[in-house]
Every structure is written in C-alpha cells, then in structure tokens.
Amino acid sequence: MKKIIIDTDPGQDDALALMTAFGAKEQLLVLGVTCVAGNVPLDFTSVNALKICELSGVFDVPVFKGSATPLERKLVTAEHVHGKTGLDGTELRVREKEVEPTSAIDFIIECAEKYRDEKITICALGPLTNIARVLTKNPGVTGSIEEIVLMGGGFFEGGNITPAAEFNIYVDPEAAKIVLDSGVKITMLPLDVTHKTLVQRDFLENLRKSGKNSANEAAKLLDFFERYDVEKYGSQGGPLHDPNVIVYLLDPEIYEGKLVNVEIEVNSELTRGMTVVDWWNVTNRKPNAYYINNVKDDKFFEVVLNKVLSLEI
C-alpha cells in the first residue's frame, strides 16, 4: 500500500485524479489532500477539494490549505479553462467536511517525519509552490519522500499557457526549480504524454450510464473542462492531464519515458516556466527527472473508469 499526499489545484482534471485515487483503495492510502492556488484562487481550490471528497463519499481524508500565491510572482489563474469556480459544469455543494486548521506545508512536514521509515509519495497536480516551501522549510524531508510524481512541463508539445510553458510550471517557475534541484526522485508527466490521453466518447458514456452520482457528476465536469481544448486543438476530446499522475502509480508499465536533465527557465519573460529537456543528452547536466512521453491511452482510460466506478456513491 503506497502512502500518498495529493497536492492539487482543482480544477476538473484534478477532480478526476482525486476520484481515481479514492477508488484505488487497495493500492493507495491517501494521507491527505493539500491545496494550492493555480487554476483558481486558493479559497476556491480548497473548497473544491472538499466538494470532490464528498462527491466521492470520502469523509476521512483531511484537506489542507497551502499557498495562496507563488513564491515570488503574481498568481496567474485559468478560469478561461476551468470556469470561475474551478469546477464549473456541476453545482456541487460542501455539506460536512471542513479544511483542517494545520497548514498544508506543516502537514506534509509532519507526514514526512511520521513516515520516515515507510516513505511517502507526493502527487503534485498543480503549481509546485507548496512542495517548494516544504523543501525550503525542512530540507530533511527529502529522506522521507520516496518520489514526487508531478503533472507539469512540456517539450516536444511546447506549452499551453504560453508557446513555451505548461501552466503548472509557468505559474511558479521558481518553485519548480527548487523541486527539480532537490535531489528527490522525480517523475514528470508533461503535456508530451497528457496530450495523448484525450477524453474518449465511450469513456464519458460509460461514466453516464453507470447509474452512480459520482460518475455522472464526473462526466459533467469533463463536458465543461474539455470544451476549451477541443476548440483550441480541434481534437475529438480534451487532454485529461492530472489523472495520469495517479494512473502512473497504479500501472507504470503503460508509460514510457527517459531519465534526463530538465531545467526550468526563470529569467526570460518570453520563455518563463519553459522546461528545457535534454532528451538527447547533449549537455553534461545531471539527469534529475524520469520524463514521460508516451502512454497506452486505452489502458489509461480503462484504469480511470475502473477506479471512478469503484467509488461507492
């Protein structure tokens, strides 16, 4: 059983990632959900995390608030993709759950100390501000982190918020640099792979006809979420980014990648947040990330569907 912390900025695709993790009870123990500002401000992402826990019938996983702004820069959000609430497409309400009083940063540090021997895996689905603040506040946590698996970056695919940068890295490039320089084992799921998991029509149909409220609401979330990218890319379906982090933990063998050096652009405004991937090893820079560029997309959707339909409600 892998002990994980999910750091997230829900976001409809984050929601599907959370639901996939909650449905994988035999393989994953979700110690907590830590929220960061990204797709929408922190006050929305934290409430959205509560909504997705309740939608999934999960009341025993604590939710924590982390960073409301990037380390140095002004927050950039993505309401144009996710809507004003960040979970547009549904009318979810929070009934019982509340955010914990402890900060996300202190919670992650406490978990690192508590599970020093067993190790924890951090699943990062948003800007890396919380993770960078943990590594800065208590560098010793690196000994407790088995791996950071993050959705972020892009190289062969270019960027999505600018021609050069993917959103999560763009929002807080200084945080991404701290994480990539930390020496922790890192697996990156960039646009190069998430643009190969385009929402499939039969996947949505299977969610809708399941008769489960959680699956039906998930389909409504995706209907709203994918409209922007379908229009932008002219594709049949929108890229389902964040669940790739969870599916990688469940079925790593459906992914392909390479251990390479990845550097983050933090100086140029033109290429701010660009992930410079030394894919062909043309520099002597030390490899610091397992960079994934391929996936068996049918298998990916099979796993997400199976786990979301495993939810009890």
Q: Which residues bind ligand RIB (CB under 6 A)?
A: 9, 11, 13-14, 38-39, 125-126, 151, 160, 166-168, 241-242
Nearer Cβ to ligand RIB (109/165): 165
What's the min distance (Å) between Cβ of 129 and ligand RIB? 12
In angstroms, the CA 132 to CA 162 distance is: 23
Contact string (CB under 5 A) for Ca ion, positions 225-254, x = contact: -----------------x------------
What does each C-alpha distance from 64 to 148, 245, 295 come to in angstroms? 18, 20, 31
In angstroms, the CA 273 to CA 2 distance is: 31
What's the min distance (Å) between Cβ of 168 and ligand RIB? 5
- What are the residues whose beta carbons fall under 8 Å from the beta carbon of 75, sequence distance 6 or more? 37, 41, 68, 69, 171
Q: Quick one: DSSP state of residue 162?
A: S
> Which of the stretches 84-92, 119-127, 208-216, 267-275 binds Ca ion when contact is defined by CB under 5 A?
119-127
Render the burial of 173-212: b for 16+ CB within 10 Å, e for the rest. Answer: bbbbbbbbebebebbbbbbbbbbbbbbbeebbebbeebeb
Structure tokens at 6: 């999910």
* # residues near Ca ion by CB under 5 A: 6
| 112 binds Ca ion, rule: CB under 5 A | no
Q: Which does 166 bind (CB under 5 to 8 A by kind): ligand RIB, Ca ion, none?
A: ligand RIB
What's the min distance (Å) between Cβ of 17 and ligand RIB? 8
Angle subtended at Cα 185 by Cα 292 and Cα 266, rounded to the nearest 5 degrees = 75
What does each C-alpha distance from 258 to 12, 154, 166, 194, 312 come to in angstroms? 29, 14, 19, 16, 37
241 a catalytic residue: yes
What's the min distance (Å) between Cβ of 283 and ligand RIB? 26
In angstroms, the CA 120 to CA 123 distance is: 10
Give me the catalytic one of 80, 82, 195, 241: 241
Nearer Cβ to Ca ion (13/278): 13
Contact string (CB under 5 A) for Ca ion, positions 153-172, x = contact: --------------------
Q: Which does 64 bind (CB under 5 to 8 A by kind): Ca ion, ligand RIB, none?
A: none
Nearer Cβ to ligand RIB (15/145): 15
Q: Which of 125, 128, 171, 274 binds Ca ion (CB under 5 A)?
A: 125
In angstroms, the CA 103 to CA 99 distance is: 10
- What are the residues whose beta carbons fall under 8 Å from the beta carbon of 138, sequence distance 6 or more? 109, 112
Nearer Cβ to ligand RIB (151/262): 151
What's the min distance (Å) between Cβ of 125 and ligand RIB? 5
What's the min distance (Å) between Cβ of 147 and ligand RIB? 18
Render the burial of 301-313: b for 16+ CB within 10 Å, e for the rest. Answer: bbbbbebbbbbee
Strand pairing partners for 275?
A: 264
| 190 binds Ca ion, rule: CB under 5 A | no
Nearer Cβ to ligand RIB (35/120): 35
> Which of the stretches 11-19, 174-182, 231-239, 270-278 binds Ca ion when contact is defined by CB under 5 A?
11-19
Q: Which does 160 bind (CB under 5 to 8 A by kind): ligand RIB, Ca ion, none?
A: ligand RIB
Neighbours of 156 (CB within 10 A): 12
